């Protein structure tokens, strides 16, 4: 995806060095249509520069900071020295992610996707998620629910979700906790089994969450939750323990939740 407009001052941009002169470096901006910027020799690197080619080469991909934009004269002034290593690596990562998302758009809607449809989908993603890549990632995690507040058609949403789930590698985190279940009831085994089913959600968990409960050693059970982020994982872990406690409590039993194993110390 290439933007048709102009970058903003202070924005970080990715480009390719396409010409080197004694007074500076010309950079073709990879994210903008038909836009070229100039890095004056004083902005190539800190300190005195004897030869610009000691610092950059033609064809090199660089990250630059936009210093000034003059649309009237079609001029974009850039700086390389004002970009630190962290900013550079983060911008490159973001740019590569957007390239992936651009390819997913083609997969979802075909090689012949029109500029109009591309722009419509892209604008919805930018407004809702901040980037194309983040939109596809949310679609991979949450499915159609992630896109219900957009103005995309059902057919577009289905195509995006299918493509996202086949191509996006979703980062997951795993958290664990333990719950001690005890029941004085004569049918205590059945009571505990029902409490475990309640802890597992009885088949009613969010689609992006994977949760399982395993036996550790009487009376201890391990709850393991895998989710897209720690906030969701911790919420579902606590909810699982609460469900078990409520269920066994209805039958006169007790449940105690803790984060560390206890069986080995008993």
| Every domain of the chain and the residues it spans | 12-82, 86-167, 173-265
pLDDT at 140: 87
Helix (H, G, I), strand (E, B) or coil at 35: coil
Ordered per-residue pLDDT tens for the chain, 266 residues: 677 789 999 999 999 999 999 999 999 999 999 999 999 999 999 988 889 999 999 999 999 999 999 999 999 999 999 999 999 999 999 999 999 999 999 999 999 899 899 989 999 999 999 999 999 998 988 889 889 999 999 999 999 999 998 998 877 888 999 999 998 888 879 999 999 999 998 778 888 899 999 999 889 999 999 988 888 889 999 999 999 999 999 989 999 999 877 655 44
Locate all alpha helices (DSSP H) within the chain, ordered by sequence: 85-109, 115-129, 132-142, 154-167, 188-199, 230-249
CB-CB contact of 238 with 244 (8 Å)? no
Cα distance between the two ends of the chain: 60
12-82: CATH homologous superfamily?
Answer: Nucleic acid-binding proteins (2.40.50.140)
Q: What is the pLDDT of residue 1?
A: 64
Tokens of 151: 């103005």
pLDDT score of 89:
94
pLDDT of residue 266: 45
Instruction: Tabulate helix, strand, coil % of the chain (nearest 5).
Output: 40, 25, 30
Does CATH number 1.10.150 belong to domain 86-167?
yes
pLDDT for the residue numbered 143 = 87
CATH of 173-265, one of 3.40.50.300, 3.30.70.1130, 3.40.50.150, 3.60.10.10: 3.30.70.1130
């Amino acid at each position: 995806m290439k933007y048709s407009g102009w970058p903003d001052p202070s924005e970080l941009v990715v480009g390719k060095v396409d010409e080197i002169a004694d007074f500076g470096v010309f950079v073709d901006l990879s994210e903008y249509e038909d836009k070229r910027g100039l890095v004056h020799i004083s902005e190539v690197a800190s300190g005195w520069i004897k030869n610009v080619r000691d610092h950059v080469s033609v064809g090199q991909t660089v990250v630059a900071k936009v210093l000034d934009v003059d649309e009237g004269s079609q001029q974009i002034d850039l700086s390389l020295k004002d970009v630190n290593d962290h900013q550079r690596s983060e911008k490159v990562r973001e740019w590569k992610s957007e390239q992936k998302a651009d390819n997913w758009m083609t997969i979802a809607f075909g090689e012949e996707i029109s500029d109009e449809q591309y722009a419509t989908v892209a604008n919805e993603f930018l407004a809702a998620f901040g980037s194309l890549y983040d939109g596809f990632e949310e679609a991979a995690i949450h499915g159609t629910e992630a896109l219900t507040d957009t103005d995309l058609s059902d057919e577009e949403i289905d195509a995006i979700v299918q493509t996202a789930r086949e191509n996006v590698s979703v980062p997951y985190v795993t958290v664990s906790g333990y719950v001690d279940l005890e029941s004085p009831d004569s049918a205590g085994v059945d009571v505990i089994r029902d409490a475990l089913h309640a802890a597992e959600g009885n088949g009613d968990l969010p689609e992006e969450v994977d949760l399982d409960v395993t036996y550790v050693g009487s009376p201890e059970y391990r709850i393991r939750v895998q989710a897209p982020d720690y906030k969701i994982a911790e919420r579902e872990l606590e909810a699982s323990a609460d469900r078990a406690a409520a269920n066994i409590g209805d039958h006169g039993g007790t449940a105690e939740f803790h984060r560390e194993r206890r069986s080995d110390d008993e």
